[in-house]
Chain A
Amino acid sequence: MFEQDIKYLKFKTYLNTYCPHCRNTFNVEKKDSKSLDFKAIYKGQEIDLRLSPFLDVFDVEASVPIAEGDMVEDFLCPRCKKSLISQEVPCGECGSPVAELIIAVYSKLIPFYVCMRHKCKWHGLTKADENKIKLKIPRQEMPEQDQKLRVANYGEVPYGFTSELAALEAGRCLQCKNPKCVDGCPVNIDIPNFVRLIADEKFDEAAKKIKERNILPAICGRVCPQESQCEQLCILGLRDKPVAIGNLERFVADFERKMDLVRVPSIKTRLNKKIAIVGSGPAGLTVAADLQQLGYQVTIYEALHETGGVLVYGIPEFRLPKSIVSFEIDYLKKLGVRFELNHVIGRTITIDELLEHFSAVFIGVGAGLPTFMNIENESLGNVFSSNEYLTRMNLMKAYKFPEYDTPKPRGNKVVVIGGGNVAMDSARTAIRTGSSEVTIVYRRSRQELPARHEEVRHAEEEGIKFMLLTNPVKYIGNDQKMLKGMECIRMKLGEPDASGRRRPVAIDGSNFILETDLAVVAIGTGPNPVIFQTTPDLKRNKWGYLEVNPETMETSKEFVYAGGDIVTGSATVILAMGAGRIAANAIHKKLSEAA
């Protein structure tokens, strides 16, 4: 019955409204507000009608008073004087004839219907139709930087929702009684409620709702793999694309920040206990925020010269602007959290020394040791670990070389080995340095690419080539021991392995040479040995990661807790934050009981 485009009506704004015949606008500016002017026939007499800009039929002014419930005989365009009455569509409420107008939303023209009965509740749609139409609203996409322009700069790619798009997207949410999305979130954000608040345009309250569970929404909205978490379980996703929960999260966090609505809560109780946190990445920041708000005095130790861990050295500017990270860190500083930079725990201070001064220690150092493939010639010049490549470009700002002193690695034909987010980040960084060709070499097929879908799409849009089912065998150097090529072998998928993914098997004799002058190895990371060298009594599992009690995140050493990648191996920001939350609660419980 209705065009799919009627979805826009859910959404209140100043609409441009046109006559369907002459396409002249009905909009007029009054002194205090905008409104829409019509001519109408009422009791055989031509009168002036004035509607509010929201096409709210309760708000009608007329030159002759119209009694409630009375029918207006005809609606006329004041310009072309043609009748606006639609023959096809009756009112969804009372069945009366309706007037058809054309409204323009986002440069689209869609029909809209107004009941001829004065003060009829109905305007445009019935409630039942509205719900049907909810399903018809397509998932809204964030406006993005042009593909051709963005490869020449390091600015963020998606611009984020406007408040209009956010409210429209939030309007798609079915508000399930038994929401599944919450289960998919490692920190159990109250997703339906924050989405409803966005639909009601209460963006500030929505931000507060998220912050009850997640202190870094601006970051998680950008880097969480929502498609395998909350959005994967969205009921709407069964019939259509799921609600863009991540993009909405990002929107409200950005809204709150840009509108300067962030308020630092006052801390009511002060406990005379100090907590040390090792590493200022997502896990550490979560523990710090939680415990500081409970009244502890928290100190974060960071080995690098900047806070944020993987958020600053790993994730590039175009995916997560560093100004956002520093804003969130500033928030923690305002809470009273202390930051000690340039402290390598295990070297500058050991864990045992920390325990002398602090009631508890949380280790959130991440999995920072790069993995290499151990193939021939891997030490050639211009073969980088993704950690080194990204640390140079992001942390050391080599992309601004020579303004910044750290040299920028450059290659004409760049190869990135791996299929995760880090591989996408490396490849997309490389294309921004002006490389003529960037290829991702991954040993499995497209379905197994572990990166976020959005990253893969962005990478493809930016012209990055995917060489799937291919694995490097060895590197080839020139006489200067610089990389000039890579021998690869084609793979096929065999039986599923322990991870449930089909194991790639090399196809004998399919070797070929790929010409390249810069390679980035992005095949994962391992646990950094520095802490363990001086704290041998921390128990580790067979992969070298820290062993913890999953209920409390406590390690084998009393009062020492751990969470994030140093426990799980390379994972996501939000999982690290989830672990941090568990640890913070357990630390609080243990220290309260001890007191």
Chain B
Amino acid sequence: MFQIIRKQEMAKGSIIRFDITAPKIASKAKAGQFVIVRINETGERIPLTVADKDEFAGTITLVFQVVGKTTALMRSLKEGDLIRDVVGPLGKAADVEKIGTVVMVGGGTGVAILHHVTKAFKEVGNYVIGIIGAKEKDLIILEDEMRAMCDELIVTTDDGSWGERGFVTQPLQKYLGERYDIKLCYAIGPIIMMKNVCNLTKKYKLPTMVSLNPVMIDGTGMCGGCRVTVDNKTQFCCVDGPDFDGHLVDFDELEKRNSIYMKDEKDSLLFSIR
């Protein structure tokens, strides 16, 4: 059993942050790795990326958007409540090294994961440019934390209610046109955003890493449910990823595979409401 010691609602309650006591995971987790969470006996196993950790307090931070039954149930949990299973850290850690200037692009809940990777890139001494975006002002998360870590930060909203109006690709294009010293791009967010970022950076031949979020069950390489096509080869996101070279990922396939259970998700929610 794993206790929630802190709960914070972000983005009008649609994004939640949990700090969970899990000392063994906290001592191991690196940026980019994830955990599998099962909240109760009848629950499903869902992957959540470790957004941050505190080795000394023995806690890990999980940030999730309420999208389905499990996340809706998680929102109803309070500080002090117990989560049945948390297993990890899983997946390969992000490949962090000092390479000069990097640009970190995040959208929606992806900013939570990006924030952990950004921290790692900053700590080893890179010059970090951050671009984060969301639909509207209230859905922007972790802006202050990102601002503290990034040497430059641009915020965009689709409706222009905060920061620049438009998508994250617009300031990114501007940077790519102006600066030639950017060595790496990290893009984490909705599939469509990662796809667009990759299409853009491909033109500038800028290496781009993305963090994928397919449907998973065990998260240890056992089921193959999380398979993604990278460079025309089948890869298991849970053991070969979750970070991949964005220029080689088949995003369309990922999007389709992630929507297989939409109807079941609805049935499941309806069942629990009844």
Contact check, B222 vs A391: say whether CB atoms are below 8 A apart: yes
**Which of the listed residues B253, B264, B271 has the most CB atoms from chain A within 10 Å of its own CB?**
B264
Interface residue range, chain B: 35 or more
Contact check, A406 vs B229: say whether CB atoms are below 8 A apart: no
Contact check, B271 vs A529: say whether CB atoms are below 8 A apart: no
Interface status of B89 (Cβ within 8 A of chain A)? yes
- Contact A342-B86, Cβ < 8 Å, known A381-B260, A401-B268: yes
Contact of B234 among A374, A392, A407, A529 (CB under 8 A): A374
Contact check, A382 vs B227: say whether CB atoms are below 8 A apart: no
Contact check, A387 vs B222: say whether CB atoms are below 8 A apart: yes
Give chain A residues whose Cβ lies under 8 Å from the Cβ of B96: none
Interface status of B183 (Cβ within 8 A of chain A)? no
Give chain A residues whose Cβ lies under 8 Å from the Cβ of B222: 313, 368-370, 387, 391, 528
Contact check, A305 vs B87: say whether CB atoms are below 8 A apart: yes
B35 to chain A, nearest CB (A): 9
Interface status of A449 (Cβ within 8 A of chain B)? no
Contact check, A405 vs B24: say whether CB atoms are below 8 A apart: no
Residues 14-56 of B, flagged 1 when their CB comes within 8 A of A and 0 if not, give 0000000000110010000000001000111100000000000
Contact of A305 among B38, B260, B265 (CB under 8 A): B38
Q: Which of B108-116, B126-134, B213-221 contacts A (4 or more CB under 8 A)?
A: B213-221
Q: Which of A33-41, A96-104, A344-352 contacts B (4 or more CB under 8 A)?
A: A344-352
Interface status of A112 (Cβ within 8 A of chain B)? no
Interface status of B267 (Cβ within 8 A of chain A)? yes
Rounded to whole angstroms, the CA-CA distance of A401 and B265 in the bound complex is 11
- Contact A407-B220, Cβ < 8 Å, known A379-B227, A382-B260, A388-B225: no
Contact check, A369 vs B217: say whether CB atoms are below 8 A apart: no
Rounded to whole angstroms, the CA-CA distance of A397 and B217 in the bound complex is 12
Rounded to whole angstroms, the CA-CA distance of A374 and B224 in the bound complex is 13
Contact check, A396 vs B225: say whether CB atoms are below 8 A apart: no
- Contact A404-B85, Cβ < 8 Å, known A348-B24, A387-B222, A388-B224: no
Contact check, A481 vs B253: say whether CB atoms are below 8 A apart: yes
Contact check, B239 vs A407: say whether CB atoms are below 8 A apart: no
- Contact A407-B218, Cβ < 8 Å, known A370-B223, A374-B234: no
Contact check, B42 vs A404: say whether CB atoms are below 8 A apart: yes
Rounded to whole angstroms, the CA-CA distance of A374 and B229 in the bound complex is 11
A376 to chain B, nearest CB (A): 11
Contact check, A402 vs B87: say whether CB atoms are below 8 A apart: no
Main secondary structure of the interface of A (DSSP, over half): loop
In B57-110, the 8 Å CB interface with A consists of: 69-70, 84-90, 92
Give chain A residues whose Cβ lies under 8 Å from the Cβ of B88: 344, 347-348
| Inter-chain CB contacts under 8 Å: number | 129
Interface status of A324 (Cβ within 8 A of chain B)? no
Contact check, A530 vs B87: say whether CB atoms are below 8 A apart: no
- Contact A378-B221, Cβ < 8 Å, known A348-B89, A480-B256, A530-B239: no
Interface status of B261 (Cβ within 8 A of chain A)? yes
Rounded to whole angstroms, the CA-CA distance of A401 and B45 in the bound complex is 14
Contact check, A385 vs B224: say whether CB atoms are below 8 A apart: yes
For B222, the closest partner residue in chain A by CB is A368
A307 to chain B, nearest CB (A): 13
A183 to chain B, nearest CB (A): 34
**Which of the listed residues A378, A384, A402, A404 has the most CB atoms from chain B within 10 Å of its own CB?**
A402
Of the A-B pairs whose beta carbons lie under 8 Å apart in the complex, a sample of 24, sorted by A's number, is A305-B45, A342-B87, A344-B88, A348-B24, A348-B25, A348-B87, A370-B222, A372-B227, A374-B234, A379-B250, A379-B257, A381-B256, A388-B217, A388-B224, A392-B223, A401-B268, A404-B42, A406-B44, A406-B45, A406-B217, A407-B261, A480-B256, A530-B221, A530-B239
A-B pairs, 5 with minimum CB distance: A407-B264, A388-B223, A402-B271, A481-B256, A385-B224
List B residues at the A interface (Cβ < 8 Å): 24-25, 28, 38, 42-45, 69-70, 84-90, 92, 217-218, 220-225, 227-229, 234, 236, 239, 250, 252-253, 256-257, 260-261, 264-265, 267-268, 271-272
Extra inter-chain contacts (11) besides given A370-B223, A407-B268, CB under 8 Å:
A304-B220, A305-B84, A369-B224, A372-B234, A378-B234, A379-B253, A395-B217, A404-B43, A405-B44, A407-B44, A481-B252
